[in-house]
Amino acid sequence: MEKLSIIGCGTMGHSIALAAAWAGIDVKVWGVNEEDLTKADRGLHNKLNFMVENELFDEREAEEIQSRIMFFTSLQGAVQGATFIIEAIPEIIEMKLKLYRELEGLIDVNVVIASNTSGFTPTSLAEGAARPERFIVTHFWNPGHLIPLVEVVKGEQTSQDTIDRSLHFMKQMNKHPIFLSKEIPGFIGNRLQYALFREAQSLLDNGVATKEDIDAAVTYSIGRRYPITGPLMTADMGGLDVFSAISNYLFEDLSKVERSGKVLADLVNEGKIGDKSGEGFYHWDDAFSKKINAKREKTLIHFLKLDRENRKKEGGL
């Protein structure tokens, strides 16, 4: 088993740590200061309580999971003895590169450095590194402890050993890794997500329907299919002749804009950026925010339980 350290204790950092600890892995987590660690510990505690309430495990197991996570403000202490490091600091390339140079002076030559970045390529992250062959991307999806997918992306110089170890370790964390043999902006998940988001913006900008009905068109149709069949398998089931014919006439009319839509751009310029500001496309008061976030987490837990049941039936656990 790899010895895991996570650099960064924010939303993704502590939720990835929770995923690892839930899988029985001891993990060290680094934060900038005690205030950051206190926030992470509080977030971890709240997530564990919610998971107990939804019967993923009992209080005793929750305590065991929490005991596997150790917090540090010393970078050297956090990575001491590590064989696999997941970086989950802010998406600022200069900050990441500075961290990597510091890390390379603290760790052994065979330690994997995996970034949780959602956009930067592993080749750009390994620029100037002493050992670029050990750099890779392991992109977890938020919330990292409930979403199974991890996108594993190799760089131009990433070694096969780094790839193999990363894929194996993600499976040990009870994740579903997918491998990208080519670096591409946004990887796979975000390219699919933003293709849908671009079209949703276009429909809203053009007054085709309300925001509620545009969202409902997803949650009450393709959103119900996609937990079982992705877009390519869905096309197989519907008939490739049909999907090809529709593609041939519909693609020409789909949005091709290269920037944010007008409604979105106006909201951002007004400081209305969604849940964290209290208003975006929707109005997010405390009650609405708690309701929607809890509903989403309960739904994710529902599917996680189904995944675990299916894996037990297939002999995977």
Per-residue pLDDT tens over the stretch 267-314: 999 999 999 999 999 999 999 999 999 999 999 999 999 988 888 887
CA distances from 196 to 142, 187, 223, 256, 317 (A): 18, 15, 12, 12, 35
Task: Give residue 214's domain range.
Answer: 189-284
202 and 131 assigned to the same domain: no
User: Is residue 254 in some structural domain?
Assistant: yes
User: Is residue 291 in some structural domain?
Assistant: no
pLDDT tens digit string along 207-255?
A: 999 999 999 999 999 999 999 999 999 999 999 999 999 999 999 999 9
176 and 197 assigned to the same domain: no
Rounded-to-integer distance, Cα 81 and Cα 4, Å:
9
**Cβ-count burial 121-145 (b if 16+ within 10 Å, e if not):** bbbbbbeebebbbbbbbbbbbebbb
User: Is residue 138 in some structural domain?
Assistant: yes
108 and 219 assigned to the same domain: no
108 and 35 assigned to the same domain: yes
pLDDT tens digit string along 127-153?
A: 999 999 999 999 999 999 999 999 999
Assess whether pLDDT exceeds 80 at residue 315: no
Whichever domain contains 98, its CATH number is 3.40.50.720
Assess whether pLDDT exceeds 80 at residue 317: no
213 and 267 assigned to the same domain: yes
Kindly report the pTM of this predicted structure.
Answer: 0.94
- In the listed set 180, 208, 238, which residue is the last one of a domain according to the structure? 180
User: Is residue 212 in some structural domain?
Assistant: yes
Whichever domain contains 279, its CATH number is 1.10.1040.10
Total domains in the chain come to 2
91 and 23 assigned to the same domain: yes
Assess whether pLDDT exceeds 90 at residue 119: no
User: Is residue 170 in some structural domain?
Assistant: yes
